[in-house]
Structure 1
């Protein structure tokens, strides 16, 4: 048999193993509210090739490829346990099992590693929590996709309605079409139908009411059976407590803003400061996409090295706020054509760091350049550290942070030498450390952080909503602190 035939046979064998994993992953999700992860990447509703690629990607961060033959035994072991709602990372199970010297079987090790999700320790499955989207633009539609995707178990979050201004004839049909097809993020994964008579979009069985209103005061949510809901404001029209309080009507319990909050509105970067949210807090902000991209790695660097000062320069994809062609704009430069120019503009991300990391004493400055790409940005974080270090030490540290720390859902790591912005479309992390571009000399470190300013940020929004709704399930094995 030739080498090529050996490789092909090996591939077909791995395909067969992966095919056997898919129904197990699906059943755990539907029946027990367990999300199976591989190095923080969900394997729920993924294809054979997607699961195999996720295993292969492990070599980028762990240094060696992970095989489905290694992870399948852990997945099978999970089916024998009395699991409650949780997220279980079989990549971490496989990695920590290799390092364990107690001589345990896979079944014994798995039972111990996920003990917090079994038996008397497991949390109860909760009733679905209603969610309303106020606005249905770029972020609103991606948040909708994520909410629909995560509704598979029938528990957790349930998208009940979107509130928009009436846009003319066939408004709901056109909005459903924008949800169904996206020029950047591709086709919606599932089916979408429209009932114009009842003003309802049905996406993968989820009935979503489309409510037309030009002001929050016009909406009676209780008339649609909506109760104790979390409203996600994607418009950015109101950013202070007074304005956002308009949403707190019967049926709405909390308001989450997908833009930086002003005044005393808490700016939350999930993974960093979500624990500061008071139980009775009704209004909060998810800050900006750039704030979410820089704060987790900034915290990681502060924790290990100390940060004396820093500057962030963001090279940001253009947004809907800019003009396609030169036209009037209230900002000085944003009126110039977005797809034809690099546009120097301001960023509030640096000042927002103080809200998310109040204990950070370092002064962080920032500026931004909008560039002619429709999605994925990069933040260049230039830091003066409290001690000298080396490039190798920083990269090893950040690689481990991305794999095993509490920030592993926020920080990703890539060592591919040929990576470019479009490679990160659809990334679910807040930011991705580019190892090849990282520069360290003495006490100066320059980190290049890619981020999908649409999808990655939307994932952070969902995490905040899950946290305040009480359906943010624990992850096992527990990340290293």
Structure 2
């Protein structure tokens, strides 16, 4: 048999293994509210090839390829356990098992590693929590996709309604079409139908009421059977507590803003300060996409090396706030054509760091350049450290943070030498450390952080909503602290 034959036979075997994983992953998700991850990447509703590619990607961060033949025994062991709602990372199970020298079987090791989610320790399945989207633009539609995707067993977040300003003829059909197809993020994964008589979009069986209103005061959500809901404001029209309080109508319990909050509105970056949210807090902000991109790696560097000062320069994709062609705009420079120019503008991300990391004493400055790409940005974080370090030390530290720390859902890591912005469309992490571009000289470190400013940010928003709703389930094995 030739080498080619050996390779093809091996591929077919791995294909078969991945294929047999799919019903196990699906059943755990539907029946027990268990989400199977591989190095923080969900394997729920993934195809055979997607599962294999996710395993292969592990070599970028762990340094060695991970095979489905290695993770399959752990998945099989999980199906035999009395599991409660949780997220379980079979990549981490396989990695930690390799270094365990106690001679335990896979079944014994797995049962011990996820003991907090089994038997008397498991948490109860939560009642579904209603969610309302106020505004249905770029972030609103991506958050909708994520909420529909995560509906799963029906015990999590339930997208009940979308509030938009009244449109013209075929308004509902056009909005459904924008949810169905996206020029950047591709096709919606599932089916979408429109019930115009009831002003409802049906997406993968989820009935989403479309409510037309020009002002929050016009809506009584209880009239639609909505109760105790979390409203996500995607318009950015109101940024302070007074303005956002307009949403606290009958049926709405909390308001989450997808833009930087002003005044005393808490700015939350999931993974960094989400645990500071007070149970009785009814209004909060998810800060900006750039804040979410820089704060987790900034915390990782502060915790390990100390940070004396820093500057962030974000090279940001253009947004709907800019003009397609030169025209009047209330802000400087943003009136110039977005697809034709690099546009210097401001970013509030640097000043927002203080809200998310109040213990960080370093002064952080920032600016932004909008560039002619529709999605994915890169933040260049230039830091003066409290002690000297080597490039290899910083690379290893950030790789380890992306694999095993509590920030592993926020920070991703890539060592590919030819990575470019379009490679990160659809990334679910807040930022991705580009190891090849990273520079260290004594106490100066320059981090290059890619981020999908649309989808990655939307994932962070949903994580915050899951947290405040009580449907954010624990992850096993527990991340290293």
* Matched position secondary structure for 1:368: strand
1:2 Cα deviation from its structure 2 partner: 1.0
Match of 1:59 in 2: 59
Query: What do residues 64-89 of structure 1 show as CA deviations (whole Å, max 9, x unaligned)?
Result: 00000000000000011100000000
Query: For 1:32 and 1:87, how far apart are their aligned partners in 2?
Result: 11
Mapped to 1, the partners of 2:84 and 2:397 lie a distance apart of 33
Q: Structure 1: how far apart are the matches of 2:301 and 2:153? A: 37
SS at structure 2 position matched to 1:232: strand
TM-score, structure 1 as length reference:
1.00
Shift of 1:259: 0.1
Deviations 1:265-316 (A, max 9, x none): 0000000000110000000000000000000000000000000000000000
CA deviations on 1:386-418 (whole Å, 9 max, x unpaired) are 000000000000000000000000000000000
**What is the CA-CA distance between 1:478 and the residue it aligns to?**
0.1
Deviation at 1:167, TM superposition (A): 1.2
The 2-side partners of 1:139 and 1:167 are apart by 19
**In the TM superposition, what is the alpha-carbon distance from 1:168 to its structure 2 partner?**
0.5
Cα distance between partner residues in 2 of 1:478 and 1:176 = 39
Counterparts of 1:26 and 1:462, CA distance in 2:
21
Offset of residue 111 of structure 1: 0.2
Deviation of the 1:426 alpha carbon: 0.1
Other structure's SS at 1:340 match? coil
List 4+ stretches of structure 1 deviating above 4 A.
none
- Give a deviation string over 1:111-147, Cα, whole Å, max 9, x none: 0000000011100001100000000000000000000
Q: Please tell me the root mean square deviation across aligned C-alpha atoms, in Å.
A: 0.3
Query: 1:393-404 alignment to 2 at 5 Å?
Result: 393-404=393-404
1:333 matches 2:333 = yes
Query: Could you tell me how far apart the structure 1 residues matched to 2:40 and 2:75 are?
Result: 15
1:446 counterpart = 2:430 = no
Q: Residue by residue, what CA displacement relative to the aligned partner does 1:358-391 show, whole Å, maximum 9, x if unpaired?
A: 0000000000000000000000000000000000
TM-score by length of 2: 1.00
Deviation of 1:53 after TM superposition, in Å, equals 0.3
Aligned-partner Cα distance in 2 for 1:275–1:461? 14
What SS does the aligned partner of 2:269 have?
A: coil
Deviation at 1:332, TM superposition (A): 1.1
- The whole-number CA distance in structure 2 between the counterparts of 1:413 and 1:79 is 30
Cα shift readout 1:407-439 (whole Å, capped 9, x = no counterpart): 000000000000000000000000000000000
Q: Deviations over 1:137-171 (max 9, x none)?
A: 00000000000000011111000000000110010
Q: 3-state SS of the aligned residue for 1:315?
A: strand
Provide, for residues 240-287 of structure 1, a one-character-per-residue CA deviation record: whole Å limited to 9, x for no partner.
000000000110000000000000000000000001100000000000
Aligned partners of 2:364 and 2:167: how far apart in 1? Answer: 42
Return the alpha-carbon distance in structure 2 between the equivalents of residues 224 and 170 of structure 1. 22
How far apart, CA to CA, are the structure 2 residues paired with 1:75 and 1:276? Answer: 34
Q: CA deviation at 1:325?
A: 0.4
Partner of 1:134: 134
Where structure 2 has 5 or more consecutive residues not aligned to the other structure, the ranges are none
Whole-angstrom CA distance in 2 between matches of 1:167 and 1:99: 60
Shift of 1:228: 0.1
Counterpart-to-counterpart distance in 1, 2:353 and 2:365: 10
Deviations 1:334-379 (A, max 9, x none): 0000000000000000000000000000000000000000000000
* Unaligned stretches of 5+ residues in structure 1: none
How far apart in 2 are the matches of 1:38 and 1:318? 32
**Distance in structure 1 (CA, Å) of the matches to 2:434 and 2:19:** 32
* Distance in 2 between residues matched to 1:297 and 1:134, nearest whole Å: 31
CA distance in 2, matches of 1:116, 1:324: 53
Separation (CA, whole Å) in 1 of partners of 2:250 and 2:329: 37
The equivalent of 2:12 in structure 1 is 12
> Counterpart of 1:333 in 2: which secondary structure?
coil
Q: Could you give the per-residue CA deviations for residues 21-74 of structure 1, whole angstroms, max 9, x where no partner exists?
A: 000000000000000000000000000000000000000000000000000000
Aligned mates of 1:227, 1:418 — CA distance in 2: 49
Distance in 2, matches of 1:354 and 1:374, equals 29
Q: Give the length in aligned residue pairs.
A: 481
Separation in 2, partners of 1:51, 1:364 = 40
The 1-side partners of 2:321 and 2:55 are apart by 38
Q: CA deviation at 1:172?
A: 0.4
Q: Distance in 1 between matches of 2:212 and 2:124?
A: 36
What is the distance in 2 between the residues matched to 1:394 and 1:30? 40
Partners of 1:6 and 1:184 in 2: CA distance:
38
Instruction: State the alpha-carbon separation in 2 of the partners of residues 447 and 116 from structure 1.
Output: 36
The separation in 2 between residues aligned to 1:5 and 1:179, in whole angstroms, is 44
CA distance in 2, matches of 1:192, 1:453: 25
Match of 1:25, SS state, is helix
